[in-house]
Amino acid sequence: MSYYQFQSETGESYGSFQVFQVLPYESVEEELAAGFYWWACFPGCLPDGEPFGPFFTEAEAIADAQDFE
């Protein structure tokens, strides 16, 4: 589980998001499938919405979060 900051087009940082991994043995039918996910979330706080994913790698999840507007 890692936290990152969103980057604006001008390179300014704002907000934050968390990337986490769901392992195959943790995946349960009707819940999250195995893979990497991200959601808007400040460290120590509850997430702001549903997770986005799954992605094959953490880098793909980070790239998707940075493209989200």
Q: Is the pTM of this model over 0.85?
A: no
**Could you give the count of Cα atoms lying within 13 Å of 19 in the half-sphere of its Cβ?**
20
Could you report the per-residue pLDDT of 10-60, keeping only the tens digit for each?
Answer: 666 667 889 999 988 766 656 888 999 999 888 888 888 899 999 999 999
Is residue 58 within a helix (H) or strand (E), and if so which, with residue range?
helix 58-67
